[in-house]
Amino acid sequence: MNKKLKKQPKKFTSAEITTETMKWMCREFDIKTTLGQIRNPNPIAFMSWGVHGAGNLKDKALVFHVNGKLFKGLICVTLNVMDTYDIHFIEPHGDARMKDKGYFLVKEELTLKDIYCDQIAQILDNAIETPA
């Protein structure tokens, strides 16, 4: 009897997702400065993204959840060795009971690389709330 085994999706906590993200080449940076570069050009746009749960992950990643019109999920901003930002969009997948326990099934992940500091707010707004 030959049974096909279905591969179960791996469960991740938010911390595990961002730890996976940190395996990419990134370096330490000042999270407060980066958050200011994202928030200050247009504070109303920042608030419209529904940002919650912003955090610092070992000074190597700025992580926050958004609930925008175009994207709902986890965003992880890292600084690469070329002094440009990489933005990782992590879309969770799964039922509410899993999310309440802090677990996510990763549905999709998209990474935008080599973003300059003066572009980061506009790129995030185009991806989360307002299409270009």
For 2-58, how does the pLDDT look when each residue is reduced to its tens digit (9 = 90+)? 444 444 444 555 555 555 555 556 788 999 999 999 999 989 999 999 998 888 888
User: Which residue range forms the structural domain that includes residue 117?
Assistant: 11-128
Q: Does 94 reside within a domain?
A: yes
Q: Does 1 reside within a domain?
A: no
Report the number of distinct structural domains present in the chain.
1
Number of other residues whose CB lies within 10 A of the CB of residue 89: 18
Strand bridging mode 72-79 / 11-13: unpaired
3-state secondary structure of 44: helix
pLDDT value of residue 91: 79
- CB distance 85 to 70 below 8 Å: no
Cα–Cα distance between 100 and 72 in angstroms, integer? 16
Q: Does 95 reside within a domain?
A: yes
Q: Does 91 reside within a domain?
A: yes
Which amino acid is located at 50 in the chain? G
* End-to-end alpha carbon distance in the chain: 54
pLDDT value of residue 58: 84
Tell me the two tokens of residue 53.
Answer: 């749960």
Q: Does 3 reside within a domain?
A: no
Q: Does 4 reside within a domain?
A: no
